[in-house]
Structure 1
Amino acid sequence: MNEKEMVRLSKRLSSWLRHNPDAIGLRPDEAGWVRVQDLLSQAAAHSRGFTRAQLDLVVEQNNKKRFEFDASGTSIRARQGHSIEVDLGYTPADPPEILYHGTAERTLGLIMAEGLLPMRRHAVHLSADIATAVNVGGRHGRPAVLRVDTVAMRAAGHEFFVTGNGVWLVDAVPPQYLELLPTPR
């Protein structure tokens, strides 16, 4: 499987496991898990088939590590980013003092007025490093990076969660905890 095919399959999996399982007749459980055999058979039934070996490759080698298998390897889910109702079961975690959020510059006015909101997802996604935030922000235009004061947020009672691929999650980030960093180059 070449890189282009891997990206294509990763995007399909993201759509099915995070947003639209009905598109191929999947029924995730309350934690977002889908039996691998159901995923393979339903994808094939909808002319989108792939092999278990290809699935393993995407889970293991995808640079964003969006997916995970359960301990038995018989079920799969997306680690975060769902627009469907799921309870991922993450426990609160102590974040670093500063986290970052990457966005497109054109969204800054609204964000600085209203804060970071989950929009169509269940949580706001934050990263522990600026480079990741720049990469995320650049997906939809010229990137802007916001620094999130997690110390003050935790003191105000906000809870943070971390996924297996290092993405930090929080319900929302009010604007008083945000600082715009100089434009990344």
Structure 2
Amino acid sequence: MSRDEISKFLSYVLRHEPQAIGLQLDSEGWTDIDALIAGAARSGRSLDIETIKEVVTSSDKKRFSLSTDDRLIRAAQGHSSAQVRLQHTQKQPPECLYHGTASRFLESIEVQGLIAGTRHHVHLSQEVPTALQVGQRYGSPVILEVDALRMHAQGFEFFQADNGVWLTQAVPAEFLKRA
């Protein structure tokens, strides 16, 4: 498997379907790397600790975290699995954050704002280029600017994942404008 394929596989099992390979995640999303390797082998994928460490450390998006003793691994954010309820520390956001989406979703977003959908949080970026990269994955990209500091002042909670991604439960349409 290529690094990209390994990263996609790890995202799938650590964020969404750990049971697909018989994996158990704790409430913070951690699982034993040896159990991950064994589960991958049962599903016909060959992984080893060094390859996993290389994928984790070389990822520009920092999607995964390793424990200090390198025995546990988890996805930094993006979970849809009911097993996981990461406890991120609440943080004051910068004045503006950004969200990349496809133009075909804009009409719905203008009505209902940004919602988490199957994930636990809406994902936001501090930089326009990152939001643009995300939006391009889904079609013709649109960048939305989120009035994050005003939201925070009105009682909305913001968190920052290990990889720098900002998280919130939802963004009402009144806090959004096209960037």
TM-score by length of 2: 0.97
1:56 to partner: Cα distance: 0.6
20, 23, 43: which one aligns with 1:23: 20
1:71 to partner: Cα distance: 2.0
96, 119, 122: which one aligns with 2:120: 122
Distance 1:66 1:177 in 2: 27
Task: Tell me the alpha carbon deviations over residues 92-141 of structure 1, each in whole angstroms, 9 at most, x when there is no partner.
Answer: 01111000000001100000110000011000000000000000000010
Q: Which residue of 2 aligns with 1:143?
A: 141
Task: Tell me the alpha carbon deviations over residues 47-100 of structure 1, each in whole angstroms, 9 at most, x when there is no partner.
Answer: 112111110111000121100011221100001001112121211011110000
Q: Percent identity?
A: 45
Asked if 1:52 corresponds to 2:49, the answer is yes
Distance 2:108 2:70 in 1: 42
Q: Which residue of 1 aligns with 2:62?
A: 65
The residue identity in structure 2 corresponding to 1:168 is: W
Gaps of 5+ in 1: none
Gaps of 5+ in 2: none
Distance 1:173 1:51 in 2: 40
Q: C-alpha root-mean-square deviation of aligned residues, in Å?
A: 0.9
The residue identity in structure 1 corresponding to 2:103 is: E
Distance 1:62 1:101 in 2: 21
76, 83, 89: which one aligns with 2:80: 83
Distance 1:13 1:122 in 2: 18
The residue identity in structure 1 corresponding to 2:113 is: G
1:152 to partner: Cα distance: 1.3
Distance 1:114 1:48 in 2: 41
Q: Which residue of 1 aligns with 2:34?
A: 37
Q: Which residue of 2 aligns with 1:153?
A: 151
Distance 1:139 1:98 in 2: 22
Where in structure 2 are the equivalents of 1:98-137 lying within 5 Å?
A: 98-137=96-135
